[in-house]
Structure formats: C-alpha cells, structure tokens
Chains A and B, each alone.
Chain A
Amino acid sequence: MAEPAPILQMRGIGKQFPGVKALDGVDFRLLPGEVHALMGENGAGKSTLIKVLTGVYDIDAGEIELRGARVAFSSPLAAQHAGISTVYQEVNLCANLSVAENIFIGREPRRLGRIQWKEMRRRAAELLSRLEIDIDVSAALSSYSLAVQQMVAIARAVDIDAQVLILDEPTSSLDASEVAQLFRVMRRLKEQGIAILFVSHFLDQIYEIADRMTILRNGRLVGEYLTSELSQVELVGKMIGRELADLERLEGKPMARQTPALVEADGLGRSGAIEPFTLTIHEGEVVGLAGLLGSGRTEVARLLFGADHAGSGTLRIGGEQVGLRTPRAAIRHHVAFCSENRRAEGLVPELTVRENIVLALQAARGWTRPIPRRRQDELVSKYVSALNIRPADPEQLVRNLSGGNQQKVMLARWLILEPRLLILDEPTRGIDVGAKAEIQRLVAELSDGGMAVLFISAELEEVLRLSHKVGVLRDRKLVAEIDNDERLTTDALTETIASGAAS
C-alpha cells in the first residue's frame, strides 16, 4: 500500500536554549488520517518540538513544510489559521463561559454584529453529537469534568478546520472510561483524514491508539516506527537508551518490617474530607495508599501533614501525641509532604534549582539564620547528583526543567530535611519511565535507610512493587489495610477498591 503524501514534514529541526541544545537535527512527518505518537523521556524534546511546530518558539535550524509549502509560524494563532490546532494537558478554555461559547468564541455566528445565541448553541450541540458527546451546551464549562472539557477543546480545534491536531498529554488526568471516550473521538477524527499528533506517557494507550511513532532522546531523533512493528520493551529501551535492568531490579517485593511504630493515627478524620481512620506506619516501612481519584488518598496525606485540621482522633509520632495544626508543626516532627500538584503547591518556578531545594530547610531554620552559601552549594550538589537531576546546573530556573526533574527537585527539598516520614502524593504522575524508575528506586533506598514513606499512586503496579503494606481507600474511607505478601496482586487490589472489602 502506497503511503499518502505527508501533510506535515519537518526536516533537520534544531533549537538552542541558553546552555541546552533542546533539539538537534530532528526529522518528523505526519501523514493524513494517522495517529502519530511522539515518544521520549521528559526532557527529550517532545514539548519543544511541539512548541516549535506551533510557533511558540522560532527554529534555529531546519525547515517545516505544511502540505508541501514551507511555513514558519509566528504564533500559535498563526499555526491555528494554517490548520494546526493544539490541545494541551491543561485545558486552555474559559471555564466561566458556556460550552457552546468555548467552542465558538471569536467565531460566533452573527447577524449585523449581533451574536446568534440560538444558532450557536444548535451548532455546538450538533458538533458535539458528531463526536458522540451529549451534554447541555448552555451550561458553564466549569460544571463538567476535565475529560469533557478536553473533548470540548478538541471540538473547538476541529471546528477551526484543523488538519493537524496536536494532543499534548490529554489523558494524564482522565480515568479509564474517559480515556476510552477520548479514543473514540480520536478514531472518528482519524476517519475524517485529520492527522493527530499524540503525546502520552502511558505506553498501553500508545499501543491502543497510535499507528506510528517517532522516538526522541536528548533532543535527537532515534527513529520512526510503526507501532505494530515495535514491542513495548524495545520502545522503552529506545526511549531511555539503556537496558531495562534498572527497572527489573526492583521487581522483587519488599520484605516486611519488624520495626517500632513511627506514626500512629487513631480514629483520625475530618468531616467531609475523610472518615476516621486508624493507620500505623512503622519506621522504614513503605505504606502504599490505593484508591480511585477522589477516594480520599490526598486527604489522608493532608491530615498527616497538618495541611488540614483533623476533626477527630489522635495522632502519635514516635510515641508522643501531637496535634499537627499547621504544616510547620509537621515539619518540626520530621514529616515531609511532596504534593501531587507540584506546579501549584510546591515549587516556585521563578527560582533556581538551588533556591527551591534549600527553601524548606531555610524555613525550618527560620529566616534569622540563613544557610551559608557554601553549605547550600554542598547540599544542593549532593542531591542534584544523588537524584540525577538534569541539567545538573543548580542555578538553572526550575521553570526550565522537565516534569520529572521538577519532581526530583521537590523530593530533594524534602530529603535535605532528613524526614522520618516522607509522604509522596503521586510522585510519578506525568513523568517518564526512566525518571519513574529512578524515583521508585530512591523510595526503596530511603526505606532501607529507615525512613518511613507513605506512597500514594494511582498505578497499582507501582504501589505493589514498593509497599510493605497497602491501605485501600474508597469513598473517603479507609476500607482495608493489607500486608503486601505473595498473595496480593493488582487484581486482588482492584477487587478491594471496587467492592470495598478485603478479599
């Protein structure tokens, strides 16, 4: 079968940032009617390639051809006009406006300058129903789930006569059924001949939807492959450029611990957030928390960290009863919390890696006792190398780091406090396989060193691989506490999450 002519062709793309060569001689092409996955670790250059393509950045070298004509976009808007639309992970719509408006704003049907609301709503409903989405288009966008918002963003993109649709990690905050719905929409669009560039960290999803993939590593092209001709193991090998031994070394389950209890929560709860729960975490123990989104995982963590006040129950740390009224109090008791929302709640993107890392230590010491610069440099360089933070430049702004490396900076910040309990809320979400393995290995090492870890993750394999004990949450209630022995499998865990009882 002859391949159709590519709708988009990028040749020899190069992009230089101060101190970093983000892209170097990358070729990329998109055929009409295909879903093309762009693969690579964090920092491999995926985002940069997309930004170069959509006119956010200029290119330093190479050329871009759209439908055979050479193009250079000055802004995302210019790219949009040429038929290249992008839907980002964070939905870039106005949640205060109605669904119909979000699809049509800027292009509202008008008569004599007057917006035809009825016509607009009708067309919006029609457009969405073609994508098999049945919602009230006059309701505010904010009243719908993220998945629906994303679909609305896609509907908007498609309606602007997009021929190339770029989906940048659209699935990272969606649940399984929402992902299925998104994929249905994508297949529809594919049938209409639209070329889709898809970025996701979930390999299974790539294999489900993508026809072809281009792999990047360290800003260079590794190659272009048909999905059907490349196994998952080969793919990961090409992405991280090394053998999978690193990943597999962790395969054995951790041994149970016989150590004194560090944290004892007894009947701890907060009405409306989490029902009273009793949980003991021993020194050097990794306790996993499993459960669906919104089941109360984060709420447990926030109570243990004093970010929310407990309405009932007692909390003992190291045998001493404590009332954690603020995160500061928790930090004094050597509890550290790496939040799920690293961008909004943890890191300060405008500060450097060094400043971000010493932030919590400085706060713990108090502002009247600044940490000497030499001590800062020592500490930071130690953790930058221990956690393999790239680029290994302490003076780089955190904003310029990739997601996985930002996560490591966050971890480093808490680790220099030498906590006794480290709470990790979704530490591996949205980061690539290599960084994931590094963080998992780090957790195992820390626990071997005697640190207790509360590990929250939506990925059950990960929870099982790391935890000595798994707490299962359902509907804001701790429904089961299961020792992670040979009998516990992801299936059993899924069963518990679904039914609410230990099997």
Chain B
Amino acid sequence: MTTLTVPGRVRVPRKYVPVLVTAGLFLAMFAAGGIRYEGFATGQIILNVFIDNAFLLVVAVGMTFVILTGGIDLSVGSVVALSTMVAATLLKHGWSPWPVMLIVLLIGAVLGLGMGAIIHYFEIQPFIVTLAGMFLARGLCFTIDTESIPIDNSTFTAFAQTRIDLGGDMWISPSVVIAVVVVIAAAYVLHYTRFGRNVYATGGSEQSALLMGLPVARTKIGVYTISGFCSALGGLLLSFYMLSGYGLHAVGMELDAIAAVVIGGTLLTGGSGFLLGTVLGVLVLGLIQTIISFEGTLSSWWTRIFIGLLLFVFILLQRLFSARSRR
C-alpha cells in the first residue's frame, strides 16, 4: 500500500544480499581459520569440505527446489538411509552395481513423486506429508535389516577410493564431481527453463501462478520428485563414502539440508533464493566442522551449537529483509 513509484536505482539488488552475506561469512571463517591454525589455509581444506559433504550438497540441492516453492521436505534423511540400505542389500545378493544405482534412484524419485502428489491433490501441508514419508522410509530400512550391511562391491569401492588429482597436491573424489554436476544442472534448470521459473513463481504466490495459467500441479509434484531423486543420489554418495548400508545413517540430515538452504539465503516462505547460496550454506556448515576438528579440544557437538547460532542470525536477517521490503 505504502509503496510509491520508486525509480529503479543502480545498486546490488536486494535479492543478492543474503547470498553475498553468506559468501562474506564463508571467506571470513576461512581467513580466521587460516590465521589461527597451522596448515589450514590450503585449497585442500575446501576440497575436503566438498569431499566430506558431497552427499549433503546433493540433498540440499533437492531441498532448495522444494523450499523455493514454499514447501519443505522432511523425508530426505530417511530416503538417504533407505537408499544406502537398498543398495547394500541388493549388492549383497549379487546384483551388479549399475542396475542397483538405477533402482535406488528410481525408488527415491517415486517416493518424492508420491509425496508431491499427496501434497498437491489432497492439499495437505508438506510438513505433515513428508513427516509421514520420513517415518515410512526410516521404518522400511529396519524391515530390510536392523544391522549395518557392509558393501564390498568393486565398483562402489572404486567410487570410494579413487582420487582425482587436480595438481598441486590437491584432489577430489568422484562424488564431488557428481555433486558439482548436479549443482550446475540444477542451477541451469532453475534459471533457464520454464520449470525453474515456475518454481519461483509458485513460491512467490501460488494463487497468482494458478491465475497466470502456470502448471502449478506439475511444478509442485516436480520439486518433490527432484528432492526424492536428489536424496536417493545423496544416499548413493553416502554409501560410497561409508561403504555400508544402515538404517541409522543420515539421522537428522533433513535438518542439516534445511539449515544449509536457509543459511544460503533462501527464504523459507519461498520464491527467493539461489543455488549458489545453498552451495555456500553447505560449505559454511562443513567449514564449521573443519574448524572444530582443528581446534581439537572441542567436542563435535559444538558444530551443532554454531549451526544453531548461525541459523538464528540468518532467520533474523531474513525477517529484517522481508520486513523492510514490505515497507
């Protein structure tokens, strides 16, 4: 109501500010770590963050799609666990690795599709539907086996142990390559395809998107399918990393993924945010862990405390921004 005609001014558009804040935070943490600890300020430290969090990054990409539409997906952690479990079991029964991967990805996508369809057609809160999905997937893990199942398939161990040399004593794992490909593909989809723009429109105002004739149903179901697919892929990356399938893998990972997305500056109400922000969010979370391990004396639970504090700060920041943009 109170907005009057303001000519567009040349400055950093407000939509980029949260991402820039996160980028600034990341650089500051890296610099602080470099000053404080011997051997911290190397490229490999950042690459290690990628290596240790490739699965989280992939899961967070899916979560970004969902949150951009104004939804939430609580099932991702359980779907990751289920994926490791299905992969480990099928491999144990002598399946060859590639069909296993295909089946795992398919299961994730179908689970996401189902939840998306329920959310859209029955108009049920995403929170509730994905909460149910979370229990369902986690429960399914334990019907397969209550114990951890080791993976000794040669393809999987190759994924786990291969080092891709980048020169200068720096290396990454194949999982990082997969995660980076996922990020780039997702960023392209969000920015350069109709589906991606419909995601933003749906998050901005679902009602308006409907009235503008956009395929809201397809978009909403699509983002949950993508999230399910990304969770399954994240599960595969985790099983490369852990070389086991276990029902207690990735407990609480949905919360880490949400935290990464929010710290990356994506609004929980939907419609605003960037994939680059999510990448930075995952890096910030990973860097906190690295710093705490460098500190040595602190228990790893301090990671949680810092993430908690960061989340508070970022949510307050979002509140301030959205309050000001309404003025």
A residues engaging B (CB < 8 A)?
Answer: 76-77, 80, 92-97, 101, 105-106, 108, 110, 113-115, 135-136, 139-140, 142-148, 156, 173, 293-294
Cross-interface CB contact of B8 among A77, A94, A110, A135, cutoff 8 Å: A135
- Report yes or no: B8 in contact with A143, Cβ–Cβ below 8 A: yes
- Report yes or no: A96 in contact with B272, Cβ–Cβ below 8 A: yes
Cross-interface CB contact of B4 among A101, A136, A142, A145, cutoff 8 Å: A145
- Report yes or no: A173 in contact with B194, Cβ–Cβ below 8 A: no
Q: A115-B191, A146-B1 are in contact. List 17 more A-B contacts (CB 8 A).
A: A92-B211, A93-B205, A93-B208, A94-B271, A95-B205, A96-B271, A97-B197, A105-B201, A106-B212, A113-B194, A115-B192, A139-B8, A140-B14, A144-B3, A146-B3, A293-B2, A294-B1
Cβ contacts A to B, 7 pairs, < 8 Å? A92-B208, A92-B211, A101-B201, A105-B197, A144-B5, A145-B4, A146-B3
A76 to B214, CA, bound (A): 12
Interface check B6, CB cutoff 8 A: yes
Cross-interface CB contact of B213 among A80, A139, A143, A147, cutoff 8 Å: A80
Name the A residues within 8 Å of B213 (CB-CB). Answer: 76-77, 80, 106
Whether A92 touches B200, Cβ cut-off 8 Å, given contacts A135-B8, A136-B8, A294-B2, is no
Name the B residues within 8 Å of A97 (CB-CB). Answer: 197, 200-201, 204, 271
Cross-interface CB contact of A113 among B5, B193, B200, B209, cutoff 8 Å: B193
A139 to B203, CA, bound (A): 18
Q: Which of B4, B214, B325 has the most CB of A within 10 A?
A: B4
- Report yes or no: A114 in contact with B193, Cβ–Cβ below 8 A: yes
Scoring B residues 1 to 31 as 1 if CB is less than 8 Å from chain A, else 0, what string do you get? 1111111100001110000000000000000
Name the B residues within 8 Å of A106 (CB-CB). Answer: 194, 198, 212-214
Name the A residues within 8 Å of B1 (CB-CB). Answer: 146, 173, 293-294
Whether A145 touches B194, Cβ cut-off 8 Å, given contacts A97-B204, A106-B213, is no
Interface check B207, CB cutoff 8 A: yes
B126-173 CB contacts (< 8 Å) to partner A: none
- Report yes or no: A92 in contact with B3, Cβ–Cβ below 8 A: no
Cross-interface CB contact of B203 among A96, A101, A140, cutoff 8 Å: A96
**Which residue from chain B places its CB closest to the CB of A95 in the assembled complex?**
B204
- Report yes or no: A92 in contact with B207, Cβ–Cβ below 8 A: yes
**Size class of the B contact interface (CB-based, 8 Å):** 20 to 34
Name the A residues within 8 Å of B5 (CB-CB). Answer: 144-145, 147-148
Q: How many A-B residue pairs have CB under 8 A?
A: 88
Nearest Cβ distance between residue B265 and chain A, in whole angstroms?
Answer: 13
Name the A residues within 8 Å of B204 (CB-CB). Answer: 94-97
A105 to B2, CA, bound (A): 27
Nearest Cβ distance between residue A433 and chain B, in whole angstroms?
Answer: 24
Name the B residues within 8 Å of A114 (CB-CB). Answer: 192-193
Name the B residues within 8 Å of A156 (CB-CB). Answer: 212
Name the B residues within 8 Å of A136 (CB-CB). Answer: 7-8
Name the A residues within 8 Å of B212 (CB-CB). Answer: 92-94, 105-106, 156
Name the A residues within 8 Å of B192 (CB-CB). Answer: 114-115
Name the B residues within 8 Å of A77 (CB-CB). Answer: 213
Cross-interface CB contact of B197 among A108, A146, A173, A293, cutoff 8 Å: A108
Name the A residues within 8 Å of B194 (CB-CB). Answer: 106, 108, 110, 113, 115
Top 9 closest pairs, chain A to chain B, by CB: A94-B204, A136-B8, A96-B204, A96-B271, A139-B8, A77-B213, A92-B208, A92-B211, A145-B5
Name the A residues within 8 Å of B203 (CB-CB). Answer: 96
A146 to B192, CA, bound (A): 28
**Which residue from chain B places its CB closest to the CB of A76 in the assembled complex?**
B211
Scoring B residues 236 to 263 as 1 if CB is less than 8 Å from chain A, else 0, what string do you get? 0000000000000000000000000000
- Report yes or no: A105 in contact with B214, Cβ–Cβ below 8 A: yes
Name the B residues within 8 Å of A144 (CB-CB). Answer: 3, 5-6
A115 to B190, CA, bound (A): 11
A147 to B131, CA, bound (A): 42
A145 to B4, CA, bound (A): 5
B45-66 CB contacts (< 8 Å) to partner A: none
B211-240 CB contacts (< 8 Å) to partner A: 211-214
Cross-interface CB contact of B198 among A76, A80, A105, A142, cutoff 8 Å: A105
Whether A140 touches B13, Cβ cut-off 8 Å, given contacts A94-B205, A95-B204, A294-B2, is yes
Name the B residues within 8 Å of A115 (CB-CB). Answer: 191-194, 197
A80 to B210, CA, bound (A): 12
**Which residue from chain A places its CB closest to the CB of B68 in the assembled complex?**
A96
Nearest Cβ distance between residue B272 and chain A, in whole angstroms?
Answer: 5
Nearest Cβ distance between residue A228 and chain B, in whole angstroms?
Answer: 34
**Which residue from chain A places its CB closest to the CB of B267 in the assembled complex?**
A96
**Which residue from chain A places its CB closest to the CB of B196 in the assembled complex?**
A115
- Report yes or no: B197 in contact with A145, Cβ–Cβ below 8 A: no
Name the A residues within 8 Å of B200 (CB-CB). Answer: 94, 96-97
Name the B residues within 8 Å of A293 (CB-CB). Answer: 1-2
A147 to B203, CA, bound (A): 23
A471 to B199, CA, bound (A): 48
**Which residue from chain A places its CB closest to the CB of B3 in the assembled complex?**
A145
Name the B residues within 8 Å of A148 (CB-CB). Answer: 5
A304 to B212, CA, bound (A): 41
Nearest Cβ distance between residue A135 and chain B, in whole angstroms?
Answer: 7
Q: Which of B4, B205, B211, B325 has the most CB of A within 10 A?
A: B211
**Which residue from chain B places its CB closest to the CB of A99 in the assembled complex?**
B8
**Which residue from chain A places its CB closest to the CB of B14 in the assembled complex?**
A140
A140 to B17, CA, bound (A): 14
**Which residue from chain A places its CB closest to the CB of B188 in the assembled complex?**
A114
- Report yes or no: B4 in contact with A294, Cβ–Cβ below 8 A: yes
Nearest Cβ distance between residue A119 and chain B, in whole angstroms?
Answer: 13
Name the A residues within 8 Å of B271 (CB-CB). Answer: 94, 96-97
Q: Which of A92, A96, A108, A294 has the most CB of B within 10 A?
A: A96
A293 to B5, CA, bound (A): 13
- Report yes or no: B2 in contact with A142, Cβ–Cβ below 8 A: no
**Which residue from chain B places its CB closest to the CB of A294 in the assembled complex?**
B2
Q: Which of A80, A93, A147 has the most CB of B within 10 A?
A: A93
Name the A residues within 8 Å of B6 (CB-CB). Answer: 143-145
A97 to B5, CA, bound (A): 17
A135 to B5, CA, bound (A): 10
Name the A residues within 8 Å of B211 (CB-CB). Answer: 76, 92
**Which residue from chain A places its CB closest to the CB of B10 in the assembled complex?**
A136
Nearest Cβ distance between residue B198 and chain A, in whole angstroms?
Answer: 7
A173 to B193, CA, bound (A): 35
Nearest Cβ distance between residue B215 and chain A, in whole angstroms?
Answer: 8
- Report yes or no: B201 in contact with A94, Cβ–Cβ below 8 A: yes
Name the B residues within 8 Å of A92 (CB-CB). Answer: 205, 207-208, 211-212
